[in-house]
Amino acid sequence: MSEFSTSSASKRLFWQKNAHLEMIALIFPMLLANITAPLMGFVDIAVLGHMDGSHFLAGASVAALILSQIYWICGFIRMSATGLSAQAKGQKSTQSSFKVLYQSMLSAITIAAVLVLFQQPILTISLHFSDANELVSSVIKEYFNVRIWGAPAALINLALMGWLLGQQKNKLVMMTQVFGNLLNIGLNLFFVYVLEWQVAGVAAATVIAEYCISFLGLFFIFRANWVKPKMAWLGLKSLSILTRLNSAMLIRNLALQACLVFMTFQGIRIGEQAAAVNALLMQFFVLIALGLDAVAFAVEAKVGEADGSKKVRLLKENVILGIFWSSAFAIVYAAVFVFGGKQIIQILTDLPSLQQAAGEYLLVIWLLPLVAHWCFLMDGVFVGLTRATAMRDSMIFSALLVYFPVWWLWQDMGNWALWIALLAFLAARGVSLSSYYVWLYYLRRLSC
């Protein structure tokens, strides 16, 4: 009876104004926080681009890319922290909430210690693959050797962000992120133009901002409440759940990264123009992520809370709300791209040949948000459910049995094959996770 009444209950919640306002209150702070991040990167590029030589911009960009990729792969710290924190909130257990916080911070510190300890081997390997000349290599070393010391703060910030999102403290996340980004910009200008530290100044500004975000986040958390950590929480047995989650999420992230790296290098093999076109089109994906990530973060928190409180009906209702807002964002993005895609391309490049080449992929640009929003949304659902194994298996399936086979079948189409494969990959992730969700909460329960 409860399963068959879920539909009407979902409709009732869907038409409740407060339910939508709660979702909006979680989405828009993260949307604003996401928007400030590209601004920081823009200032970094502008500062580096005005130094005496292009090698400064090239070297710092490569070094920043190395670290950002490492931190992105370590994004499982945030995902696990969000899901477990949201479930603890649903259980109304302050002890469990802080247990998640301390365990996530311990994971972050441990991984950061490994990165700092092995910084020189990481740098050596990176320099080998970058194949940069001596001038660019010297800048890579200078930037990397400063930025790497921000690793503890950068990874702790992932844990703090995840925990706060799970506790539905999205405004605090926005405040710390915006503060850190603005501080980074200010210090960047001060170190470079006043102290004349050049590349080291750009790196130092980011490191200081990362630590300030950590201290501010901890201040907000412990000002409201504080639970003393227990040694039992940090033992191997107690950490086993988090370790399993992180391991599965790590494999998921690596599989996703393998597809993106393949796309980048395959584009380069096709030719200079194809690589440039792909770089432009990826900016549309970045724009999409600003909104769809914000929706996914909100869904993670609401689904995790419902799962922690063992309210299956509420869980389903929040997924329906998530589908509505994710679809709304996707439709708006698609409409903007349909009516303004050419204009956005013209803003991104003033080269007529590149504008024309990128314009041939407008269909891909229009379809991208409509296809991609399902995997963003379902990632949010499964993060909230802390079903990392399902996310890992979906990613591996979509990569090995969809992305690469589709590219191989269509490779005669050149660069188009990469984008057809990417759309198929995104669709496979959304379909596979959606199907598993339906089986878990509809088909399996109806058969019981």
Backbone angles phi, psi at 360, to 5 degrees: -70, -15
Q: Which amino acid is it at 400?
A: L
Q: What is the pLDDT of residues 40-90, one digit of tens each?
A: 666 776 777 777 777 787 788 888 888 988 999 999 999 999 999 999 999
Q: Nearest Cα to 79, choosing from 251, 280, 329, 220?
A: 251
Q: Nearest Cα to 327, choosing from 283, 362, 378, 276?
A: 378
Q: Is the dihedral of CA 394, 399, 400, 403 positive or negative?
A: positive
Residue 377 CB contacts under 8 Å (≥ 6 apart), including other chains = 292, 295, 296, 299, 322, 323, 326, 430
Contact between 368 and 288 under an 8 Å Cβ cutoff? The reply is yes
Higher per-residue confidence, 226 vs 398: 398
Q: Which amino acid is it at 439?
A: W
Say if residue 91 is exposed, middle or buried (CB neighbours under 10 Å; 0-12, 13-18, 19+): middle
* pLDDT the model gives residue 446: 41
Inter-helix orientation angle 236-270/76-90, to 10°: 140
Residue 236 has pLDDT above 90, yes or no: no
Contact between 282 and 16 under an 8 Å Cβ cutoff? The reply is no
If pLDDT is split at 50, 70 and 90, which confidence band does 269 have?
confident
Q: Nearest Cα to 440, choosing from 328, 315, 350, 289?
A: 315
Residue 2 has pLDDT above 60, yes or no: no
Contact between 253 and 75 under an 8 Å Cβ cutoff? The reply is yes
CA 129-253-202 angle, to 5 degrees, is 55
Residue 198 has pLDDT above 50, yes or no: yes
* pLDDT the model gives residue 445: 59
> Which tokens is 16 given?
């409740």
Contact between 426 and 372 under an 8 Å Cβ cutoff? The reply is yes
If pLDDT is split at 50, 70 and 90, which confidence band does 13 have?
low
Residue 244 has pLDDT above 70, yes or no: yes
Q: Where are the domains of the chain?
A: 1-30+248-448, 51-234
Q: What is the pLDDT of residues 284-317, one digit of tens each?
A: 888 899 899 999 999 999 999 999 999 998 999 9
If pLDDT is split at 50, 70 and 90, which confidence band does 257 have?
very high
